[in-house]
Every structure is written in C-alpha cells, then in structure tokens.
C-alpha cells in the first residue's frame, strides 16, 4: 500500500456540502472555457479548504522532448494572477520533486517551509504570500503521462488526509477542462 493509499484509508470520511456538489456536477461540465471552469473549482476549493493559492501548469516541454535540458511548465490558470500570472513559465531540472511529479506522475505533498524551499525556486515568494504547504497533483493524459499539474498551496503548515483527498478530487474533476485547454495551446 502506498503512502497516499494509507493516508486515504486514514481519512474516515470526506464530506462535500450540497452546494459544492452541485457546482462540481452541474456547473463545471458546462463551463465555457478554462477560466470559467477553474473559477468554479477554485470557489469550491475556498469553500472546503479556505484561503490559499490554486494554479494549473501545463507541461509544454517534457523531458522526453528535451533530454538535454529542463522541462518547461507554463501556467495556464492562477487564483492569484498578480503574484502568479497565467502564461508564466518555469524551467524544472531533474530533481526528486520533478521526477516524482512530472515523470512518475505521483502526487507531491509538501508541508512546511523547508519542503517548499527544497522543491521550488520561488519558495521565498510562496512563503512571502503566507503559504506553507502544497499538494501538487499530476494530471494524466490517455497514455497515463503527466501533461499538467494542479497545485494547491495553503497557509496551514500541514495537510489532513481528507484535505489531500479533496485536492485530488478537485484535480480529477478539473482534468477535462484543463485537457481541452492543453490541446488548444498545443494546436495554437
């Protein structure tokens, strides 16, 4: 059993308010574009998890395409476009974080400023925004490769098992809208 499966087993119950379920089941599938879809998802995130940051990054240059250089992520959506504007790019070298999340498609849970500093070059900005923990969820294409990341950061210092499951559920429900945006970006 993986650590995430053990954590999921530790989460006795994950409860979603009826309004959150209606937004996710009724409004999200009908969202006109990525901005609308992520607005719905972020509203539910705030309702369930409180303050924080939600971003979506597309993996536009995977290591398979650039084995000699860094992987490139481009931000497709941000709940804080001033600090993290859409269109911003990050160049990621092969680190334990990038290998686990981007290559092996494993969820990353970072808790505390030391974890953020180890995983992110922009950790000073993150901490400066009052954020101290992160859940990065890889979004998978039909070949089960990571094509994007769904990233939730929070002012708390750690995550409960049910909160991690909520982030993963929101990422899964947002995946179709993000995949459509990724296809549009790739063809444009």
Q: How far, CA to CA in Å, does 155 sit from each of 44, 47, 105? A: 17, 15, 25
Is 117 within 8 Å of 102 (Cβ atoms)?
no
Q: How far apart are CA 12 and CA 129, in angstroms?
A: 32
Q: How far, CA to CA in Å, does 130 sit from each of 54, 73, 85, 161, 168? A: 14, 23, 18, 22, 22
- Per-residue confidence (pLDDT) for residue 1, from 0 to 100: 41
- Tokens representing residue 98 in the block: 């990038």
Residue holding tokens 């290591």? 63
Three-class SS state of 140: strand
Q: How far apart are CA 63 and CA 46, in angstroms?
A: 33
Torsion angle (degrees, nearest 10) of CA 68, 135, 57, 53: -140
Q: pLDDT digit of tens for each residue in the chain (188 aa)?
A: 455 555 556 667 889 999 999 999 999 999 999 999 999 999 999 999 999 999 999 998 765 555 566 789 999 999 999 999 999 998 888 888 988 999 899 999 999 999 999 999 999 999 999 999 999 999 999 999 999 999 999 999 999 999 999 999 999 999 999 999 999 888 76
- Tokens representing residue 72 in the block: 């490139």
Q: What is the sign of the dihedral through the CA atoms of 58, 61, 62 and 63?
A: negative
Q: How many CA atoms lie within 13 A of 60 on its CB side?
A: 20
């Amino acid at each position: 059993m993986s650590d995430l499966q053990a954590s999921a087993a530790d989460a006795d119950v994950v409860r979603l308010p009826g309004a959150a379920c209606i937004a996710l089941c009724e409004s999200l599938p009908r969202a006109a574009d990525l901005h609308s879809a992520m607005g719905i998802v972020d509203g539910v995130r705030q309702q369930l998890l409180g303050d924080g940051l939600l971003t979506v990054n597309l993996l536009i240059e995977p290591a398979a395409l650039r084995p000699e250089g860094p992987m490139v992520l481009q931000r497709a959506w941000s709940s804080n476009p001033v600090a993290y504007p859409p269109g911003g790019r990050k160049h990621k070298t092969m680190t334990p974080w990038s290998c686990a999340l981007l290559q092996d498609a494993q969820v990353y849970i970072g808790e505390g400023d030391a974890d953020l500093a180890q995983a992110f070059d922009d950790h000073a900005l993150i901490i400066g925004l009052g954020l101290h923990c992160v859940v990065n969820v890889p979004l998978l294409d039909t070949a089960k490769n990571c094509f994007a990341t769904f990233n939730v950061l929070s002012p708390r210092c750690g995550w409960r098992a049910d909160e991690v499951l909520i982030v993963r559920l929101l990422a899964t429900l947002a995946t179709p809208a993000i995949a459509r945006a990724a296809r549009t970006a790739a063809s444009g």
